[in-house]
Structure 1
Amino acid sequence: MSTITSSRWRNRAGVLVLAAGVVVALAGCSANASADTSGAAADGRVTIGAHSNGAATETSVRVSPDAKLHDALPASVQDSGKLTIGVGALPSGFPPLAFTGDDQKTLTGSEPDLGRLVAAKLGLDPDVQNATWDNLFVGIDSGKYDVGFSNITVTEQRKEKYDFASYRQDNLAFQVLADASWTFDGDPSVLAGKTLSVSSGTNQEKILLEWQKELQAKGKDFSIKYYPDGNAIKLALDSGKIDGYFGPNPTIAYQNTQSKGTAKETKTAGTYSGAGSSLQGLIAATTKKGSGIAKPVEEAINELIDDGTYAKWLTAYNLSNEAVQQSELNPEGLPLDAS
């Protein structure tokens, strides 16, 4: 596939669209959406994990824009010279996926960073805008955002309204102390005799309770303890009151990174699809259905996979255990009864 290295693209009117390079301050706790065009230079340089306050290993990469993918975008996107990326991280963010950086203005995290990488591959400036989760989808519906990068799970219900380009597995994980000897490979029998914690009312609680019922039918069991928040769970794990915590893989990956060098380092003992045993859940870039944006985004992600940039992005955020072999356009999603 052909590429061009110039930082300038000619739109259909023949006007040169120049990289803006402007940083608009983010109000990370504001109720209003905010924008950020930082993180990508005119020559395709992107800094992964910039201002991430230890959530990622800061990594600089250079992305070669692909002229064919740029030309495959709708004319309105080409003419704008930018890819408007919606992220639903207001009011407080969710490290390591999306949050206001330590400079108090840059929207950092794995999700906006992948958006910046895709924008660079498409030969566009990234215009990252922060919103609440609900307003993210309102913005996609209205055309305010070209694409959402916000840990959005593909579901069959959502596919009725949106197009998707997958980029990461949707996984849960078991967090244990670094010196724990047990691992989880998908067989719940390994949990017998253990004491575990999970957050009440979550998808992972539902799965854990199903496993408990399955083991009880075989004359085995494990205990479940509930705590009010993440700090209490970590204290319980550190003190040996629980053998492990079952939660979202990205959150646990972040906590593992933060624990490095402490007296109570943690690690991941194994992962499990958030969609259950019958389907690997997937996280995907999300566009308005029929907008014509999802296909170029899918191909851009696949080029990033092929040239190794994707792996660097995952490694920087300690999320390599959620890698996909390729991006898929509108892959199978969670069934309607699970949406």
Structure 2
Amino acid sequence: MITVRPTGRTFATAALAVVLAGGLAACGGSDETKAEADASVGTVTVGQQAKGIAKPTELKVEKQQSIADLVPDAIKADGKLTIGIGALPTGFPPLAFVGDDDKTITGAEPDLARLVAAVLGLKPEFTNNTWENLFVGIDSGKNEVGFSNITDTEQRKEKYDFATYRQDNLGFAVKAGNNWNFDKNYKNLAGLKVAVSAGTNQEKILVAWQEKLKAEGKTLEIKYFADTPTTFKAIVSGQIDAYFGPNPGNAYQTSQTQGTPDAVRNAGVYSGAGESLQGLIAATTKKDNGLVKALAEAINYLIKNGQYKAWLAAYNLDTEAVDTSLVNPPGLPKSNA
């Protein structure tokens, strides 16, 4: 989720790319998909065209006029909400990727955007970008909002407004049947072998815990593997005890391996912002374009009325739920960027 380079997401691994073969260059906007058509008539099917990664769930979502009235006239004039996704070139399941039909942009992030657009009474129109061009699109106004695992940071607040909708968590994956849990206490890592990806925020955190344990006369062995498939094979074979990585990626592996000999489970989460601050993922707009309050109110409507919970459940992301959408809350400090 957050790396030691500019914060964002780090799910485009070789294992996940396999799921996406065949539709990586697709973009939204020109052809109306069933998902967009549904959103315009009061229903949104989350998990549609999702390659089996999510359970398709049809949700009723009616336009809420009092919330729709908060959308600036300049944005709602064309009846559309243009949504930027930063999933090129490979996508990052379960959050954003190209669907079964090789054109629908699907995943947890686009589906929440569809739900929000339905509350606002606007037709969702997607553009799939590289991570860098997602922000270029927001800056230019081409993308009126970004729903793409964007972390709320103090540095980004200089240019963007945020309406939060998910916790930004790292997580521990272990073999199904392994009763170990992290319990948000680094001391529980003593004596374990834990894999992590090099050059990431989670590596930085794990190394700090290793140093603390060493000072206490305890050990934590950190392991590195070439890619995600190799890492998860090492968990199942018993070479390592756990993997510390982005929670959505672990949730994806958990859902895909359930009931198989390679089954893994979630053994606890930890804020990507560290011990003192819960990191948050947010819908992102150009600063002061007037849209952020409407987005937060739409998300809070979905939370209150149950569609938000059903959306998280469809993608096995229940551990990242928030109680309310906040506008521009404290973000990841500049020193962590």
CA distance in 2, matches of 1:190, 1:152: 30
- SS of the aligned residue for 1:299 comes to helix
- 2:225 is the counterpart of 1:230: no
Superposed CA offset, 1:133-178 (max 9, x none): 1000000000001100000000000001000000000000000011
**How far does the alpha carbon of each residue in 1:65-89 deviate from its partner, in whole angstroms, 9 at most, with x for none?**
1112212111122211011010000
| Corresponding residue number in structure 2 for 1:277 | 275
The reply on whether 1:106 has 2:101 as its aligned counterpart is no
Equivalent residue letter for 2:61: V
The offset of 1:253, in angstroms, is: 0.1
Q: 1:51 aligned to 49, 52, 60, which one?
A: 49
Q: Who is 2:311 aligned against?
A: 313
Distance 1:37 1:328, change over 3 A: farther
| Matched residue type, 1:274 | G
- Match among 257, 262, 266 for residue 264 of structure 2: 266
Q: SS of the counterpart of 1:134? A: helix
State which structure, 1 or 2, has the greater radius of gyration over its C-alpha atoms: 1
Alignment of 1:14-163 (within 5 A): 28-30=23-25, 34-35=28-29, 37-38=32-33, 39-40=35-36, 41=38, 42-163=40-161
CA–CA distance in 1 between the matches of 2:41 and 2:49? 21
CA drift at 1:338 = 1.1
* 2:301 matched residue in structure 1: 303
- TM norm structure 1: 0.90
Q: CA deviation at 1:34?
A: 4.2
Describe the SS at the equivalent of 1:284.
Answer: strand
1:241 aligns with 2:236: no
In structure 2, the gaps of 5 or more residues are 1-21
Structure 1: any 5+ residue segments left out of the alignment? 1-26
Which residue identity is paired with 1:302? N
Aligned to 1:10: none
User: How many pairs are equivalent?
Assistant: 312
Residue number among 188, 193, 209 corresponding to 1:190 in the alignment: 188
CA contact (8 A) 2:28 2:105 kept: no
Contact kept? 1:176, 1:237, Cα under 8 Å: yes
The amino acid that maps onto 1:48 is: V
Whether the aligned pair in 1 keeps the contact of 2:87 and 2:129 (CA below 8 Å) is yes
Q: CA deviation at 1:183?
A: 0.4
SS of 1:156's equivalent in the other structure is: coil
* CA contact 1:99–1:107 (8 Å) conserved in 2: yes
Cα deviation, residue 249, structure 1:
0.2
Give, in angstroms, the shift of residue 264 of structure 1: 2.2
Letter in 2 for 1:43: V
C-alpha separation in 1, matches of 2:101 and 2:171: 30
Structure number with greater CO (CA < 8 Å, separation at least 6) is 2
> Structure 2: which amino acid aligns with 1:29?
L
Per-residue CA shift, 1:10-53, capped at 9, x if unaligned?
xxxxxxxxxxxxxxxxx8423x8543643142321101000111
What CA distance in whole angstroms lies between the structure 2 residues aligned with 1:63 and 1:235?
Answer: 41
Contact 2:28/2:103 (<8 A) preserved: no
Partner residue of 1:330? 328
Amino acid at match of 1:104: D
Give the CA deviation at 1:54: 1.6
Q: Deviations over 1:254-289 (max 9, x none)?
A: 000000121121100000000000000000000000
Percent identical residues: 56
Q: Give the letter aligned to residue 275 of structure 1.
A: A
Q: What code does the residue aligned with 1:225 have?
A: K
2: CA distance between counterparts of 1:146 and 1:67? 20
List 4+ stretches of structure 1 deviating above 4 A: none
CA contact (8 A) 2:46 2:59 kept: yes
